[in-house]
Amino acid sequence: MLVHLNGQLVPHDRAAVSVFDRGFIFGDGLYEGLRAFTDTRTGRMRVIGLEAHARRLRRGLIEARIEWDASRLGPLTAELLEASGLKDAFVYWQITRGTPDLSRGPARSRVPGAGERPTVFGYASAMAPLSLASPEPGVKRASLQPDLRWMRGTLKSTSLLGNVLAAMGAADHQADEAILFRETPGGVLVTEGTYTNVVIVNQSGAVVTPALTDAPLLSGVTREILLAHEPTIREGRVTPDDLRIASEVLLVGTTTMVSSVTHLDGVPVGDASPGPHARRLAARLAAIIAAGDDERLPG
C-alpha cells in the first residue's frame, strides 16, 4: 500500500517516522477520517463533506497551535486516492506537531520548541461501495459507558485512549460501540459514541442530538450535514434515561453513515430492528450526498 508521508507517496513498509515524534510520544496531533466514493454523476471520486472536514481540521490546528495549511487536505487526498486505485475508500490523515530538535533540549519537554515541523501522514483503505440508490441503515449494539475523556471534545485529537477504553468496555458487553455519558453543569448527559455521534427519537417523537454547547463532543461532519439539511433534527439535552426509553437510537458518522442501535446494554431498542426514523434519515443522507449538498453547509 502506498501511503503519504511528509509530501511523498511511499510504500507503507518503507515509511518511517522518528520515535521522538510528539505524535508518538504525547499523542500531540490531530486527525481526520474521510470517506470517498465514485460519484456516478461525474464518474470521478469525491469526498463526502470535504469542506467541512477541512474546516474542522483548520480550526483544530489553530486551537492546537500546529501550523499546517488545511486547504491541502483536498488536493493531497485526491493524489492519495489516485495512487490507491480504489473506487470507495476511507482516507485517514494525521498531522502531529513533529519531532523536536534533539540537539537542543530534552525530547520530553511538554512545551514544543520553535523548530518542529508537522509530521503529515495519510493512507487510503478500501470500503464497501456506498449505496446511494437504496440506502439501508446499518445495525449496531451499543453499551452506555462513562465518558472519561478530556474537555476539548471538539478537537479531533490523536490521543484516543479514553475512546479506546470506552470501546473496550462496550466490547466487554458484546456491544459494537460505546455511547458515552458524563457529568456536566446541566446534569448527567449523553455526549457521543467513540467514533460516532448520537441521535435519539424521544418519547414525544422529537429527533434530538446532543448539543455541542452542553458537553464536550465532536462536531461530526455527518451530524453537521444532517443538521444543515434535515430540519426534523434538533440539538438538545439527552440524558442516559432519555436514551434508555427512546423509541429509536441512531449512530451517525463517516464510516457508520446512519445506523440503528438495536440493543442498548443487551436490552432491545424498539423492536430491535431499524425503525422509521433510521430508514428515513439513512435515505435522506444518501439523497443529500447524491445531490452534492454535503458540500453546501453553513460555515
Ligand X SMILES: Cc1ncc(COP(=O)(O)O)c(C=O)c1O
- Give the residues lining the site for ligand X (CB under 6 A): 33, 192, 194-197, 218, 220-223, 253-254
Nearest residue (CB) to ligand X, 2 versus 141: 141
Nearest residue (CB) to ligand X, 84 versus 222: 222
Nearest distance from C-beta of residue 195 to ligand X, angstroms: 4
Q: Which of 52, 91, 93, 69 is nearest to 220 (CA)?
A: 52
Cα–Cα distance, 52 to 70 (Å, whole number): 11
Nearest residue (CB) to ligand X, 2 versus 288: 288
Nearest distance from C-beta of residue 214 to ligand X, angstroms: 15
Nearest residue (CB) to ligand X, 21 versus 147: 147
Nearest distance from C-beta of residue 192 to ligand X, angstroms: 4
Nearest residue (CB) to ligand X, 165 versus 272: 165
Nearest distance from C-beta of residue 127 to ligand X, angstroms: 13
Q: What is the 3-state secondary structure (H, E, C) of 57-109?
A: HHHHHHHHCCCCCHHHHHHHHHHHHHHHCCCCEEEEEEEECCCCCCCCCCCCC
Burial of 184 (0-12, 13-18, 19+ CB in 10 A): middle
Nearest distance from C-beta of residue 210 to ligand X, angstroms: 10
Taking CB atoms, the residue at the shortest distance from ligand X is 220
Cβ 210 vs Cβ 235: under 8 Å:
yes
Nearest residue (CB) to ligand X, 45 versus 166: 166
Cβ 199 vs Cβ 208: under 8 Å:
yes
Nearest distance from C-beta of residue 164 to ligand X, angstroms: 11
Nearest residue (CB) to ligand X, 3 versus 258: 258
Nearest residue (CB) to ligand X, 60 versus 98: 60
Nearest distance from C-beta of residue 14 to ligand X, angstroms: 28
Quickly tell me which residue has 452534492 as its cell: 292
Q: Which of 1, 215, 28 is nearest to 111 (CA)?
A: 28
Nearest distance from C-beta of residue 160 to ligand X, angstroms: 8
